[in-house]
């Protein structure tokens, strides 16, 4: 149920659904556009609804060449629906961070939008490793200062990392 949002005509400009030209796009998304592959944006807060959304950018080709991108938006609530159903052991849970380490989905909704500067040193170091690598396991103290193991994996074609944690006692 993606909603058409805007079109990026390479070399011509960025146009909203209304046809109005936009004069901005995040620099990291411009780099991805140069790769000429579909991609998901980071989670952003909609200025219209105030809710978290993400953009899906897909190339439009003509004669085998990328001539534009179609950009669609959708609500990011599905990430919370996903993480709310995942866990390990009795008290383990899942959460998703973006490429900056900001929590974009979490069982504890009050932790959403917290970033590296909000984490204790142990969690900050672990999340920094997690967003720098494809997959693995880290042992760290979470936001409640409980020692946990966090298994993580990058989510394909996105800037997001899924992390599944469980208290050390439940893993050992």
SS (H, E, C) the chain: CCEEEEEEECCCEEEECCCCEECCCCHHHHHHHHCCCCEECCCEECCCCCCEEEEEEEEEEECCEEEEEEEEEEECHHHHHHHHCCCCCCCCEEEEECCCCCEEEECCHHHCCCCHHHCCHHHHHHHHHHHHCCEEEEEEECCCCCEEEEEEEECCCCCCEEEEEEEHHHHC
In sequence order, what are the residues at sequence separation of 6 or more whose Cβ sits closer than 8 angstroms to the Cβ of residue 52?
A: 43, 44, 45, 46, 75, 76, 77, 104, 112
Name the pTM for this structure: 0.74
**pLDDT for residue 143 is more than 80:** yes
CA-to-CA distance for 57 and 139, rounded, in angstroms?
A: 35
- Asked whether the beta carbons of 15 and 21 are under 8 A apart, the reply is yes
**pLDDT at position 27:** 45
82-103 residue pLDDT tens: 889 998 999 999 999 999 999 9
CA-to-CA distance for 127 and 18, rounded, in angstroms?
A: 39
Nearest Cα neighbor of 160 from 52, 27, 33 is: 52
30-47 residue pLDDT tens: 555 656 777 777 777 776
First to last CA, the chain: 42
**Residue that is written with structure tokens 């990058």 in the block:** 154
């Amino acid at each position: 149920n993606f909603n058409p949002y805007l079109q990026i005509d390479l070399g011509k400009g960025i146009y909203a659904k209304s046809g109005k030209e936009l004069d901005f796009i995040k620099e990291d998304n411009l780099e991805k556009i140069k790769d000429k592959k579909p991609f998901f944006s980071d989670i952003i807060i909609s200025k219209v609804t105030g809710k978290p959304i993400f953009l899906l950018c897909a190339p439009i080709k003509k004669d085998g060449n990328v001539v534009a991108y179609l950009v669609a938006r959708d609500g990011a609530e599905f990430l919370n629906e996903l993480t709310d159903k995942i866990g390990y052991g009795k008290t383990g849970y899942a959460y998703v961070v973006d490429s900056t380490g900001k929590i974009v989905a979490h069982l504890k909704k009050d932790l959403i939008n917290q970033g590296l500067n909000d984490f204790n040193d142990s969690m900050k170091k672990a999340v920094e490793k997690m967003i720098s690598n494809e997959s693995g396991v880290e042992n760290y103290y979470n936001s409640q200062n409980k020692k946990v193991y966090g298994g993580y994996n990058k989510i394909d074609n996105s800037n997001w990392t899924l992390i599944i944690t469980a208290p050390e006692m439940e893993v050992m």
